[in-house]
Amino acid sequence: MSERKLGMLIDLSLCIGCNACTVACKRENDVPLGAFNTWIESFDVERPDGRIARANVPKQCNHCADAPCVRVCPTGASYRAEDGTVQIDQDKCIGCKYCMAACPYQVRYQVESGEVQKCTFCHHRTSVGLLPACVGTCVGYARTFGDLNDPESDIAKRLAEADGGDVLYEDLGLNPSLYYIGLKETEAMPVASAIHRGGNVMKPYEG
């Protein structure tokens, strides 16, 4: 039997940008004010037919197999768990922020006590057979979670149907465990508005 590798697939055609995942995650993981383990970047795009459409792209830790954060951590606080996820041992974290600088997705943050935190794929839930909070609360069923190495899992079947799906920063070769359906199509369309995160402007419209 192959080694277990937990991962997530997000179908952008089903994400309506409601931010229920963000709220559920903050409540489940007691995420500090101003920080996010997962968020949605919402913006308008110009479709090939000239019409304007809304794009919603959820972001979070990609749980890479070749994670830069793990490589640069001087204490071993950032590590790959047996289920393939990237976790942080809070007792070993010295708050040096090397991992924050190394992460190309910029999904880590430092809490007041000094430790660094991020999305854990709700390890405390998945380790007992439950779904991550964001997956369980998604009203559009845009998120699928499971064992990427199990060909009979829902996520493996959906990825096979989607020709393997898309990943962020594919050129970096980090082998992330977060996949998307429709990401390349979304990225190929011209952005026609500011990019919002949680209702706030994350990047102004550049015209």
Over residues 25-82, the pLDDT tens digits come to: 999 999 999 999 999 999 999 999 999 999 999 999 999 999 999 999 999 999 999 9
Cα–Cα distance for residue pair 131/63, rounded to 1 Å: 16
CATH class of 6-63+121-198: alpha beta
Helix, strand or coil, per DSSP, at residue 42:
strand
Angle at 34 between CA 13 and CA 127, to 5 degrees: 65
pLDDT tens column, 143-195: 999 999 999 999 999 999 999 999 999 999 999 999 999 999 999 999 999 99
The answer to whether 186 touches 47, Cβ cutoff 8 Å, is no
> What tokens were used for 115?
């430790």
- Compute φ and ψ for 184, nearest 5 degrees: -60, -40
Residue 117 phi/psi, 5-degree rounding, is: -135, 170
pTM of the model: 0.95
User: Could you state, in order of their start, the residue ranges of all structural domains in the chain?
Assistant: 6-63+121-198
Amino acid identity of residue 143, one-letter, is: R
